[in-house]
Every structure is written in structure tokens, then in C-alpha cells.
Amino acid sequence: MELKQLQYFMAICEELHFTRAADKMGVSAPNISQQIRRLEEEIGVLLFDRVGKTIVLTEAGAILQEHGAAVFGHLKQASDAIADLKQMQGGSLSIGVLPGDADLMFNALLLNFHQTYPTISLSLLETTRVTEQVLDRSIDVGVTIGPVSDERLTSIPLFHEEFSLAVRVNDPLANENFIPLSRLIDLKMVLFPTDHQCRKLIDRFCTDQGFTLQPHMVTTTLSSLLQMVQSGVGACVLPRLLLDTLPNPDIKVVSLRHPTPSQDICLIYRSDRYVGYAMRTFIKTLRAYIEAVIQQAKSS
């Protein structure tokens, strides 16, 4: 079995069409068909069932596809390791985060990271498909809600995130140290849209307590939410860590209890990928940054 034959086979698995696979590989359709026939003759089984122009993988083909993916995964790791060795202290990294987390966590971190490691190129993508895109290798690492249970992924716990209520400093609730979550139903609320990950968490906890929030106003940006709270338009539920690290004299933070909305945040990457200098450095920097932010919030 030649590596080129395996490449052709994997291309056909992706396209399920000989001509499209040939175009993808830059060869003629007769050429790729001939190589697959030779491969099938060599291993003694059919890899595809052909019904007219439609093809499907046989059981043997599915086995070869699984192992072929592992072969090219190992080759990619070797290539990455060699490239990392050549670049030494450079490289690039793509990071996927849930919508809103770029504002909530990463803006300051990315600026500091670039200043400290200018030879590492970072790209940040907001996506609701963090886990899926790490798995299909369209992003290198992801920061998402845990726990993530998938043997194909390595998961590193980052922190436990609790949510609190933000109110204008002259609001009667500003004198309270905490309120029960059920009190939210009586408040004029300003919130993210229903598809935002913070809103989903809040809605889930409220639903579990038997009520649904009907916000007075909805906005997609963190800055506008804080502005509306500061102006007295309504109260908002946001991550406590965020509120403690963005102190505002016009906003008071009130704890939520019984229960406290919370979630675990973790970093994920494919277990079979090479962890190069760029990724090692980012993970180390991210964990140190989060620890410093938590310590700052505790001391404030």
C-alpha cells in the first residue's frame, strides 16, 4: 500500500465521488480509479460499493478510513513537531471561544500575550461549535463549558464561574449582600439575547426554579448592558469574576443564592495533536492570567 493510494482513498471518503476527489487531488478521474482498483487488488477486498455514480464505503473501507485518519494524524503531528523545532519560539495558534467570552475574558489577555510573545501569531474565533471545531481541526484549542467527556479530547479545567446580579448603586437591592434567585422574576432585567451562552445558563437555572425571565431590554454587547445597569434601566446577571475585575462606582454587585448560577470553564484540544511551543505557551499564560484575576477579585 502506497501513501499516495491512501491519500486518494481518503479524498474519495470525504467526497464520495471519484471525479470530485480527483479534482481535489489534482489528478484525472481514470488515474484515481486505477489507483483504488490496485489498492483493492492488493488487500483483496472492495473498499467501495458502486451503484451507478453513487458510492458508499464497505465495511472494509470504513476500517481503512479509520486507520487512514490515524496515519495522517500522526504525520501531521510529526510535521508540526518539526516545524515547531525550526521556528523555536514562534508559531501560530487558533483559539475558539463561546460568543461573548472574547469580551468577558480574552481582550486583555491577548494584548498582554502579544506584547510578551510577539513572534507567536494568535487568532481568536467566537463560535457556538467550539468542541466540534476542535475535533475537525478547524481550530487548535477551545475554551468552553465543562465537563467535556470525549476520549479524542484533552480537557484542562480552568475555573469555576459563578454569576451575580449587577444593579445601580442607588437601587434598593444595592443594600443586600445576597438575594435568592427567585427574586429575579420581580425585577426589571436587561439581558443578552437567548442564544448567548450567558443567557442560556441564566434561563436554565431559572427554568429549574419554575419561572421564566421576561427581560425589559435585550442587547448583544457587554458594554451596552453595563451602561443600562449604570443608567438604572434594569438589573443584569453577569459572571462575578467579570464584575469584580471591572469595578464601576455606579454599579453594585449582589450575590445570588438558592441556587447560585454557575458553570465550569475548561480548555480543550485534540489528544492526538502535537502540543507545540505556541500552544504550551498560551496554556501556561492563560492559566496564570486566570489565577491572577481570581486573586485580584478576592483581594478587592
Q: How far is it, in rounded angstroms, from Cα 132 to Cα 137?
A: 9
Q: What is the CATH number of the domain that holds 73?
A: 1.10.10.10
Same domain (yes/no): 170, 298: yes
Grid cell listed for 167: 444593579
Same domain (yes/no): 296, 198: yes
CB-based contacts of 146: which residues, under 8 Å, 6+ apart?
155, 157, 263, 264, 265, 266
CB-based contacts of 38: which residues, under 8 Å, 6+ apart?
5
Give the domain extent around 9.
3-85
Last residue of a domain, one of 85, 115, 133: 85
Same domain (yes/no): 70, 132: no
Chain centroid to CA 9:
31
Last residue of a domain, one of 70, 85, 100: 85
Same domain (yes/no): 263, 135: yes
The number of domains in the chain is 2
Grid cell listed for 50: 458502486
Distances (CA, A) of 202 to 10, 100, 250: 44, 14, 23
Q: Is the pTM of this model over 0.85?
A: no
pLDDT tens-digit profile of 191-248?
999 988 889 999 999 999 999 999 999 998 888 999 999 999 999 999 888 888 777 8
Look at residue 100 in the predicted model and tell me its pLDDT. Answer: 64
Same domain (yes/no): 40, 21: yes
pLDDT tens-digit profile of 247-288?
789 999 999 999 999 999 999 999 988 788 888 889 999 998
Last residue of a domain, one of 38, 60, 85: 85
